[in-house]
Amino acid sequence: MTMHIQLEQEIIQHYPGVQIGYLIAEVSVTETDPFVESLKMALSSHVQSMGVNATNFAIHPTVAIWREIYERDFQVKAKTYRSSLEALLRRVVTGKEIWKINSIVDLYNCHSVLSLLPMGAYDLDKVVGDISIRYAREGETFLALGEKERLEAGLDS
């Protein structure tokens, strides 16, 4: 069976320079992994070497663009609803560890911080059909990792 990943035209029109990347891999998910744990320990020094710290991370160009998108396009306060990249960076620059989920999620969270790019993942064994990157539609619900209550997409989404 072939799966397709598509970026809907509305996203391309709104963000003409948008690019996405993907990797398909067979992985073994474990609670922790020594390599991933060593990456976590190196995040703070790596971020500092890039000149990113607790006073300037929010104005870093990569973080700032996501703040702008959240506030302008999603119509939410970026300080309250941080992008995954900003939330991870904030933890690192304030001396907190990134969340411990499992070896695979922790690995791509580390790479998100190292590359300053927001990332996400799908368990393809649980995906039915194609993957479409698009805006939420009226009435759709979303349950974020760790949340108990579904959020419903409104007209302004």
Tell me the per-residue pLDDT of 106-155, one tens digit each, with 9 for 90 and over: 999 999 999 999 888 888 888 889 999 998 888 887 766 566 766 555 54
What pTM, to 2 d.p., does this model score? 0.81
pLDDT at 156: 45
Alpha carbon 55 to its chain centroid, in Å, reads 22
**Which residues, 6+ apart, have CB-to-CB distance to 18 below 8 Å?**
7, 11, 12
Distance separating alpha carbons of residues 26 and 18, to the nearest angstrom: 27
- Total domains, the chain: 1
Domain-located, residue 141: no
CA–CA distance, 3 with 129 (Å, rounded to integer): 7
Class of residue 144 by CB neighbours under 10 A (exposed 0-12, middle 13-18, buried 19+)? exposed
From first CA to last CA, the distance across the chain in angstroms is 33
Q: Is residue 59 part of a domain?
A: yes
Structural domain containing residue 79: 25-121
Is the residue at 132 inside a domain?
no
What is the pLDDT of the chain when averaged over all its residues? 88
